[in-house]
Structure 1
Amino acid sequence: MITAKARAVDGPDKSFRAAEIKRRELDVHDVLIEIKYSGICHSDIHTAQGEWGPVQYPLVPGHEIAGIVTAVGAGVTKHKVGDRVGVGCMVDSCGECENCRKGEEQYCLKGNIPTYAGVDKYGEYTQGGYSTHIVVTEDFVVSIPDNIELDAAAPLLCAGITTYSPLNHWGAGPGKKVAVVGMGGLGHMAVKIAHAMGAEVTVLSQTLKKKEDGLQFGAVDYFATSEPETFEKLAGTFDLIINTVSAKIDISAYLSLLTLDGTLVNVGAPAEPLEVNAFSLIGHRRSFAGSMIGGIRETQEMLDFCGKHQIVPQIEVISADQIDEAYKRVLASDVKYRFVIDISTM
C-alpha cells in the first residue's frame, strides 16, 4: 500500500485535519500520480457537509486534480512517468454498458465510480485529491496540454468539462445566443468557453458587481437578475441557457428568456428540488435539461480546446491550512473564481 498525506473532514460541522490515507498498490493498468494541485468545487462542500445524502467519514474530497505520473503498471500504454496529467470527477466505470461504450462513462448504467465518496471495484472507499498521491486506472487519466500550468489546469477537470459538455452537446457556436446564469467557478468558465466557440454570450447574475470581469471573459452583455425589468427586457432572447447556480432559483422565470425551441441546461446541483411551471415549457416548445460533467474522451477534447484557445480559469492558490476558510468564502461568493490547493503545503 502507498501512504499519502491528506486533509480529511470527520463530519458535516467539522474542520479539516491532517491525515494519512492508503492508496492501493499499482494494478497492471494503474497510474500513480503525485498530485500538485487540487481545485475546490462546490460539490466538495455539498458532500463534506452531508447535503447530498449520507457520507462515510473521514472524507477526503477533491475531484479537480492535476499532477505528474510517478509510476505506471506493467500494462499501461497511455501514460508514462513524467507526464503531466489530470483526474476529474470519476476514476472508473463498468466499461461495458451502452453508455460506457459510447464514451459517456459519466452516465454508466451501473454507476460510475466517483473520485471520492464512492466504492471502487476493489471494495475500497474512494478518497479524493486533497492528498499527495492517487492511484487511478489509465483510462480515467487525461493529458494536460503543455501550455496550461498545472495550477490553472486543475479546475478544468470539473468546472471546465461541466460547462464545455453542454455547450458542445447543444451546439453553442456562431449565430447562437447563449446566457450563463451565475458568475462563479463554473459560470466564468462557461463564459470563456462559449465565447471561444463563437457564441454571443450574456451573463445573468444577481448583481452587476462582476460585470467588468464578465465582459473581459468574452460576454457581450451582463444583466442583474435582481432587477425585475431584466426578465421583461430579455424575454424570448436566448437559444441556450446554462444554469451554473448551486442554489434554488425560479426556473420558470429563466425559461421565459428562451426563444422558440430553446433549452435551459442545469449544471448546478442544489440540494433542494427545482420547480417548473409546465406552461413555461409548452408555450414555445422549450426544453429544461440537465448535464453532468463529460466522458473521458470529451474531457480530453475540452483540455485540448482550452490549450488551443488559451482558456484557463481565474484562480486563487491557497495552502492546505486554508481549506476551511476557502469553503466559507465559496459559500459567501467571495472568490474570483476558483480556489486551488497547493498540495506541496499538505
Structure 2
Amino acid sequence: MGLSPEPKWETMMTEFKAYAAIEAGGTLEPFTYDPGPIAADEVEIKILASGLCHSDISMINNDWRASQYPLVPGHEVIGEVVAVGDDVSHLSVGQNVGVGWTSHSCLHCSPCLSGRQQRCQTGTTTIGGHGGFADRIRVQHVWAVPLPDGIDLQSAGPLFCGGITVFAPFLDFDLKPTDRVGIIGIGGLGHLAVQFANAWGCEVTAFTSSMDKEAELTELGAHRIVNSRDDAAIKAEAGYFDFILTTVNVSLNWPLYLSALRPNGKLITVGVVPEPMGIPAFPLIGGQRVVSGSDTGPPDMVAKMLEFCVRHDIKPMIETFPMAECNTAIKRLKSGEARYRIVLEN
C-alpha cells in the first residue's frame, strides 16, 4: 500500500474569532463563526494585521445600503497561509500574502476575463464574506496576493486598499513621468498618492486644507503645495495640470479644478462624494478634458504596486492598535487625528 499524499494544510480551524458589528452603527463585539469546509479554490489565512479604512466605517454604518449583519470589517489583510484548497497549486502553507477589498470573483465574466476582476458583477467583497478583524479569513486564491521580499509586513496592509486605489489610476489613465500631477486631500490615500507620483517621475502638487503639513508633504515628495480652501490660489493654477487625483469624500468647487487642467487633462476621483458632481460642459468640450473615477485594481496590478513600493521604499505612515482595541481605533480614525492609516495587529 502506497503512502498517502502529504496534506496541503497545517491545521483546519472550525471556528474563527472576530469582531463584528451586530447592527448598523453598532460598536464591534467579539463574534465567532464557522466558515465551513474550505473550498477547492480557497486559501485560509492566519491574520497578522489588518488595516482600518474609512470604508470599514461606511460599511459598519451601512452608509452605502449594502451591509449585512453581523458584519466583520477589515479589507487590508496581511497574514500567513495556513491551508489551501485542493485546486490551489501556486500558494503554499507558510507563505505571506495580502488581501484587499475583493475576496471572490467568478473568473469567467467579461471583466474577469479581461483582467479587471475587481469589477466582477457577481464578486464578493472581503467584508461581505466576513473580513479581517479576526484571527483567520478565507478567500479565493487569486485574491491572496503574495508579498514580495523586502516589504514591511507591519505597514503593508493599507497598500491593499488605500495604496491600490491611488496607484491604479496611474496605470489605467496612462500617467506619464513628464506630467504635472495634483493630489487633492492629503490623508490616508493622498499621502500615498504623493509618494507614488513622485517616484513615477512627475511634478507633484499637494492640495491640502492643512497648511501645517507643508514640511511633511515636502518630505513625502510634494514639489508644490496649494491651499485647497483658497479659491484664488486654485484659480491661479489655471491650465497647469495634466492630471488631478481627488481623494476626498466631500464636494469641491469642481469647475475651478477643471479650469486647472490643461487641454486633454484628466480629473479622477477615488473619493466617494455623496452629492452629484456639478461638472460644466464647456471645459470638457473646449479642451477635451476628462472626468472619471477609479475603484481598486486586479491582483496582477496589486502585485506590481507592491514591487513598486519595495523598489522605491514607499510605505504608508501608520499608527498601530491591538485588534482587541478596534473600537478605540475606530474612534481615533473618526476624530481625523490619525496620521495617516491605522493598523490593527494580532
Instruction: State TM-score, norm by structure 1.
Output: 0.92
Cα deviation 1:308-334 (Å, max 9, x = unaligned): 222111110112343333333333321
- Alignment partner for residue 42 of structure 2, among 20, 26, 30? 30
In 1, are the aligned partners of 2:235 and 2:259 still within 8 Å (CA)?
no
Match of 1:207 in 2: 210
Match of 2:9 in 1: none
In 2, are the aligned partners of 1:24 and 1:135 still within 8 Å (CA)?
no
Helix, strand or coil at the partner of 2:305: helix
How far is 1:228 from its partner?
Answer: 2.0
How far is 1:246 from its partner?
Answer: 1.9
- Alignment partner for residue 201 of structure 2, among 168, 185, 198? 198
- Alignment partner for residue 82 of structure 2, among 70, 74, 97? 70
Is 1:59–2:71 an aligned residue pair?
yes
Is 1:112–2:115 an aligned residue pair?
no
Identity of aligned residues (%): 36
Equivalents in 2 of 1:191, 1:340: separation in Å?
Answer: 20
More divergent stretch after superposition (6-15 vs 216-225): 6-15
Helix, strand or coil at the partner of 1:210: helix
Equivalents in 1 of 2:45, 2:57: separation in Å?
Answer: 24
Cα deviation 1:67-122 (Å, max 9, x = unaligned): 001111222111101101001110111211222112101122x33211112xxxxx
Equivalents in 2 of 1:41, 1:142: separation in Å?
Answer: 19
| Structure 1 residues 1-346: aligned runs within 5 Å | 2-108=14-120, 110-117=121-128, 126-342=129-345, 344=346
In 2, are the aligned partners of 1:248 and 1:274 still within 8 Å (CA)?
yes
Counterpart AA for 1:164 = F
How far is 1:54 from its partner?
Answer: 4.4
Counterpart AA for 1:146 = D
Helix, strand or coil at the partner of 1:39: strand
Equivalents in 2 of 1:318, 1:280: separation in Å?
Answer: 46
Match of 2:10 in 1: none
Equivalents in 2 of 1:192, 1:79: separation in Å?
Answer: 30
Q: 1:291 to 1:54 in 2, by over 3 A?
A: closer
Helix, strand or coil at the partner of 1:2: coil
Match of 1:122 in 2: none
Q: 1:327 to 1:249 in 2, by over 3 A?
A: farther
In 1, are the aligned partners of 2:155 and 2:315 still within 8 Å (CA)?
yes
Helix, strand or coil at the partner of 1:19: strand
Gapped runs of 5+ residues in structure 1? 118-125
More divergent stretch after superposition (181-190 vs 90-99): 90-99
Helix, strand or coil at the partner of 1:311: coil
Match of 1:123 in 2: none
Equivalents in 1 of 2:137, 2:105: separation in Å?
Answer: 17
Counterpart AA for 1:115 = T
The structure number with the bigger radius of gyration is: 2
Equivalents in 2 of 1:331, 1:207: separation in Å?
Answer: 17
Helix, strand or coil at the partner of 1:45: helix
How far is 1:296 from its partner?
Answer: 1.1
Cα deviation 1:27-81 (Å, max 9, x = unaligned): 2222110011100111111111111114221111111000001111222111101
Structure 1 runs of 4+ with >6 Å offset: none
Equivalents in 2 of 1:284, 1:327: separation in Å?
Answer: 43
Instruction: State TM-score, norm by structure 2.
Output: 0.92
Counterpart AA for 1:166 = P
Equivalents in 2 of 1:49, 1:280: separation in Å?
Answer: 37
Counterpart AA for 1:87 = V
In 2, are the aligned partners of 1:172 and 1:198 still within 8 Å (CA)?
no
Cα deviation 1:177-203 (Å, max 9, x = unaligned): 011110111111111111111111110
How far is 1:24 from its partner?
Answer: 3.1
